[in-house]
Amino acid sequence: MKQTDAASTLATPLRFVKGVGPHRASQLERKGLRTIEDALLFVPLRHEDRTRLTPFRSLVPGQAATCSGVIVGVSPPPPGRSRVPFTVMLRDSSGYATASWFGWRYLARVLKRGQQLVLHGRVGRYKGAIVLQQPDYEVVENGEDERLHTGRLVPVYSLTEGLPQRALRSLMWRLVESHAADVEEVLPDSLRARRGLVGRAQAIRDAHFPETDATLAAASRRLAFDEGLLLQLGLAILRSRVARARGLALNPRGDLVARLRARLPWKLTGAQERVWEEIRRDMAAPHPMHRLLQGDVGSGKTIVAAQGVLTAIEAGYQAAVMAPTEILAEQHFMTFRQLLDPLGVRLTLLTSSLKPRERAARRAVLAAGEIECVVGTHALVQEGVDFRRLGLVVVDEQHRFGVEQRARLRGKGEHPDLLVMTATPIPRTLALTIYGDLDVSVLDELPPGRRPVVTVARSEGKRRAIYKFLREQVAGGRQIYVVYPLVEESEALDLKAATDMARHLADDVFPDLVVGLLHGRLGFEEKDAIMRRFKAGEIHVLVSTTVIEVGIDVPNASVMLIEHAERFGLSQLHQLRGRVGRGEWKSYCILLTSGHLTEEAQRRVDAMTSTNDGFRIAEVDLELRGPGEFFGTRQSGLPEFRAVDLLRDTSLLEEARREASAIIARDRELSDPAHRALRAELLARWRGKLALATAG
């Protein structure tokens, strides 16, 4: 009884909390805070140690400091002088200091003489004087409860327009005081004791208003553990459902695979053999396969997947190969057709750009079982394309193919085997965390003879020298890619840029060479024709928008020139680079940039020029973009991460994973009364996605 009361209190909308009007409530809602519970779980960005306010006299340039003083003078920048900072002069009992902000003209309206401020920021020098540069500041209002805002570890929250730090902090204080105790413990006592975790209510209190650094650390650890555990429990449940489900045992003699291999001019690498064996065994077993295949660009994933496709077909089933975009689907189709056509496999391409009649015709032969392998976009699953006997689904690029879609696939009658491939590998522990419902195979070896691609960054001034270099490469018998970025909002403009460049190169720069142009607006047949000509060596320089990101395989190409390289994402750059260095020749990736790079763009370029290792690249990418964007948590269907730092908390996540497996091994669907609170929390966090999986 008491618990339900507590639960309903926590579910109270914030607008019913005393002192929160409709205006404030809507500001809070913009931060995703609707209920008291939302607010309690809204952990601060950081804490400031205001037990030790630094006297102005003791400020040291180069260090960060927290201090407090009264404004004694305000100097706004003169009109039109945006390069002059807005400064205020402050006084405390030890002396004077200056604080300055650039580009903060509106401060003139906010900061007034006589106000007391608390400031936190970096100390620097400006024209010889000591200055707090761009500090965070809070205006101390009369009548506020100062114990909250100074003399302690003070929480600093992420804000939204019009919501002052102090007001939010005061609200949080009241909520924590009156409601933290209502938060239910979700972990069994034994687990808490074993892992040395503080209670959940305590953790929430300390995450906001900790007494010491140590209590703060313990609180953060507890909340991160909960988040990790809830993630892992959900994944463990999905995994155990798959393991128990009845699936297809695809275990033919292997004639088609043998014929494919006999036609290859090279032998599979050790890693390819090992990974293929893992897949073959999964496919042969009478449970659905759910496997993630990770491998850097060029590690040879295609041939592994092709063997899976042939195995399904020889066992009498159909296979579907899916890519996140139409262009990628077309490219996969070309690749698979080349490998499978000679073996007599009947293949088709299904994309939404087909004429309705053609599309309907292809769907019909698929449903009739006359086609053995279909290549298309992820929409294949969503639109409920009918198969006669679907045995294997190969999905390229897992980021955009989330838990939910996988669940939907599981729901497709016969439980086909699933192989998810990714060329943006992530560290294994992280893969187990994020794709915990999949088994993981790693291609950790490149085919022999690959040489690292020499990667350099150049600015516009070097263009002539670059053209000269390209000419030498072509004279030596090589071929060149020139890539243009596509920015969605101005596709037409970008297309024009690429078109103009192709014409410029063809007419003015390389009039004696054959320059080709490839872009997304071309029809499939046209693209196919151009790619074939490039592959045959008839085109020397191929200008392209990013349509060649994945799947093009021309070993003779030795240079990848990327225009406006700063506009590309890191994994995209790495993919593009992976298009060269596939043959026996020394290969180059040239990143041409405007020269004025943002810090983030600079880090992407630096990462590219300093390593060829896709795992390392993925780590940097993850750091730069943060997990939300990197994994597309919303799209992928995973709960969001608030307390967990996926890069920092790997060992914690590993612990959570072990605990989750142990719990699910004993209590598959958390029906034990001891797990009631955990189950409720789990369902709330996964917002019905686990139930969706049950339905499938």
Q: Which residues bind ligand ADP (CB under 6 A)?
A: 266, 268-269, 272, 295, 297-303, 423, 447, 553, 578, 582
User: Nearer Cβ to ligand ADP, position 296 or 372?
Assistant: 296
Query: How near is the Cβ of 513 to ligand ADP at its closest, in Å?
Result: 24
Could you give phi then psi for residue 118, rounded to 5 degrees? -110, 130
Closer residue to ligand ADP, CB minimum distance, 291 or 363: 291
Which residue pairs, CB below 8 angstroms and at least 24 apart, start in 265-273?
266/447, 268/300, 268/303, 269/300, 269/443, 269/445, 269/446, 269/447, 269/448, 270/445, 271/295, 271/299, 271/442, 271/443, 271/444, 271/445, 272/300, 272/303, 272/304, 272/443, 272/445
What is the 8-class DSSP label of residue 15? Answer: G
Distance between CA atoms of residues 259 and 1, nearest Å = 68
User: Residue 619 CB, nearest distance to ligand ADP (Å)?
Assistant: 19
Residues in the chain: 696
CB of 615 vs ligand ADP, minimal distance in Å: 14
C-beta of 155 vs 578, nearer to ligand ADP: 578
Q: How far is the CB of 548 from ligand ADP (least distance, A)?
A: 12
Question: d(Cα 614, Cα 621) in Å, to the nearest integer?
Answer: 10
Least separation in angstroms between CB 340 and ligand ADP: 14
SS3 278: helix
Beta carbon nearer to ligand ADP, 44 or 298: 298
Minimal distance, residue 683 CB to ligand ADP, in Å: 38
105 vs 428 by CB, closer to ligand ADP = 428
Dig out the tokens for 77 from the structure. 């920048």
Backbone φ and ψ for 42, nearest 5 degrees, come out as -85, 85
Residues 6+ apart with CB under 8 A from 137: 99, 111, 117, 118, 119, 120
Q: Which is nearer to ligand ADP, 423 or 592 (CB)?
A: 423
Q: How far is the CB of 545 from ligand ADP (least distance, A)?
A: 20
Between residues 102 and 266, which has the closer beta carbon with respect to ligand ADP?
266
Do the beta carbons of residue 116 and residue 67 sit within 8 Å? no
What's the min distance (Å) between Cβ of 568 and ligand ADP?
18
- Whether 113 contacts 74, CB under 8 Å: yes
Q: Which is nearer to ligand ADP, 257 or 303 (CB)?
A: 303
Joined tokens for residue 232? 């892992």
Phi and psi based region of residue 315 (left: phi greater than 0; alpha: psi -120 to 50; beta: remaining): alpha
Closest by alpha carbon to 632, among 379, 403, 429? 403
Distance of CA 182 to the CA centre of its chain: 35
Residue 616: CB atoms within 10 A of its CB come to 15
Closest distance to ligand ADP from the beta carbon of 306 (Å): 9
Minimal distance, residue 561 CB to ligand ADP, in Å: 20
Give the nearest distance from C-beta 546 to ligand ADP in angstroms.
16
CA distance 306 to 300: 11
Q: How many CB atoms lie within 10 A of CB 602?
A: 14
What is the three-class DSSP state of 458? strand
Closest to ligand ADP by CB, 348 or 422: 422
